[in-house]
């Protein structure tokens, strides 16, 4: 069932604790997390890291953090961030920077694995070199509210911002989100494959994990809105 009584507004640093919790709950189950966090799914490690990711966006003058809330209860149901980039700067993908933003050392992280993920994300970023654009990141909806149109609502809000500026929008997608972004008018421009079977304990049943670099041109309609 779609959630009709939800509205979008700009988040503040007062929301950090809740935003970190939402990111932890929504993105924690991703396959790569079981490799990056040695004690996955321990909240004591993952929650500070997720919160620090949001904190970095608040510290970036070119980023806006958005929240979607239940108008009846005031509960924050989801989050995303939109960042304006010139195409000339090098996005900070370093996971150690995120850990540093937590204000304290975060233990039980596999930095070697994290470095490989960073290499892949940087390759995806090369698609937008030299082109001014927006980047979408941190999209997360509380698990109990997923599949009810809230992620789409946040993404459409960001699309309106990009369309008003006449700029394309870029994002990197988890495998499970790929189909959603296609429906919202994004095209797959590149991808990066990481063999999870080569990390951690043997015979864990993991294989190739594909991350997508996806682009939406200004004014592109979602599949649902196309005639």
Structural domains of the chain in order of their starting residue, each with its CATH number:
6-225 (3.40.630.30)
CA distance 71 to 120: 39
Q: Residue 117 is encoded by which pair of tokens?
A: 């993920």
CA distance 202 to 200: 6
Contact between residue 213 and residue 168 where contact means Cβ atoms under 8 Å apart: no
pLDDT of residue 141: 97
| Nearest CA among 27, 172, 156, 193 for reference residue 37 | 27
Q: Residue 36: CB partners within 8 Å, gap ≥ 6? A: 95, 109, 110, 113, 114, 117
pLDDT of residue 224: 61
| Nearest CA among 77, 63, 55 for reference residue 6 | 77
DSSP string, the chain: ----SEEEEE--GGGHHHHHHHHHHHHTTSTTHHHHBTTTT-HHHHHHHHHHHHHHHHH-TTEEEEEEEETTT--EEEEEEEEEE-SSS-----HHHHHHTTTS---SB-HHHHHHHHHHHHHHHGGGTT--EEEEEEEEE-GGGTTSSHHHHHHHHHHHHHHHHT--EEEEE-GGGHHHHHHTT-EEEEEEEEEGGGSSSS--S--EEEEEEEEE-TTPPPGGG--
Question: If the chain, 227 residues long, is cut into consecutive pieces of 10 residues, what is the mean pLDDT of each piece?
Answer: 85 98 96 91 92 95 97 96 92 73 76 89 93 97 94 96 98 93 96 87 78 96 65
pLDDT of residue 226: 55
Q: Radius of gyration (Cα) for the chain, nearest Å?
A: 17
CA distance 113 to 111: 5
């Amino acid at each position: 069932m779609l959630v009709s009584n939800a509205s979008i507004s700009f988040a503040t640093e007062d929301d950090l604790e809740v935003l970190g919790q939402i990111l932890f709950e929504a993105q924690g189950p991703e396959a790569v997390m079981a490799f990056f966090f040695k004690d996955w799914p321990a909240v004591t490690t993952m929650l500070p890291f997720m919160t620090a990711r949001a904190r970095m966006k608040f510290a970036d003058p070119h980023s806006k953090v958005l929240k979607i809330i239940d108008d009846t209860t005031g509960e924050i149901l989801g989050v995303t961030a939109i960042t304006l980039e010139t195409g000339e700067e090098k996005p900070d993908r370093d996971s150690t920077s995120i850990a540093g933003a937590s204000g304290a050392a975060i233990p039980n992280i596999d930095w070697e694995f994290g470095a490989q993920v960073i290499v892949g994300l940087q390759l995806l970023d090369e698609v937008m070199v030299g082109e001014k654009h927006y980047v979408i990141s941190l999209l997360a909806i509380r698990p109990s509210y997923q599949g009810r149109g809230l992620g789409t609502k946040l993404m459409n809000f960001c699309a309106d911002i990009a369309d008003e500026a006449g700029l394309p929008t870029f994002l990197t997608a988890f495998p499970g989100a790929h189909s959603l972004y296609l429906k919202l008018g994004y095209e797959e421009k590149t991808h990066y494959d990481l063999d999870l079977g080569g990390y951690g304990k043997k015979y864990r049943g993991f294989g190739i994990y594909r991350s997508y670099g996806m682009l939406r041109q200004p004014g592109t309609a979602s599949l649902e809105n196309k005639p």
